[in-house]
Amino acid sequence: DMYDHAISSYFQYAFPADELMPLSCEGRWHRSRGDLDAVLSNSSLTLVDSLDSLVLFGRMDDFRFAVQWLSENLRFNKDVVVSTFELNIRVLGGLLSGHLLAEKKLPEYRGALLAKAEDLGSRLAEAFDTP
């Protein structure tokens, strides 16, 4: 019940923003909290991060929608300062786990999440190229 409430609220009030602001019931699009907002990347963070949970909680219609929407709309060609840690674990990890689950659960899936993960991974790799 708690997961259903949380993900339904995200879809109703915040999608496709990165986060749901619980007091205003709006999506968080802009940085207003300094370093606390470094997680924001305008990459539908909550949606990507919830791909595996959607399957675990049996919300297959939402999973199918999320995979299709991300496949068609997620882009990383943005000029934003991000937390490489958060993007690495939540978005790259979410895309990879989502890809593996989509391969098993969605016959119509053709690998778009893996392509998104490769794109993001190549962009993040530059952050680790330090002397």
What pLDDT was estimated at residue 119? 97
What pLDDT was estimated at residue 19? 87
What pLDDT was estimated at residue 79? 84
First CA to last CA distance, the chain: 49
What pLDDT was estimated at residue 131? 80
pLDDT averaged per 10 residues in sequence order, the chain, 131 residues: 94 93 83 60 91 98 98 92 88 97 98 98 90 80
Between the alpha carbon of residue 93 and those of residues 41, 79, 87, the distances in Å are 15, 21, 8
What pLDDT was estimated at residue 113? 98
This prediction has a pTM of: 0.90
Q: Is 76 helix (H, G, I), strand (E, B) or coil?
A: coil
At a CB cut-off of 8 Å and minimum separation 6, what does 108 contact?
none
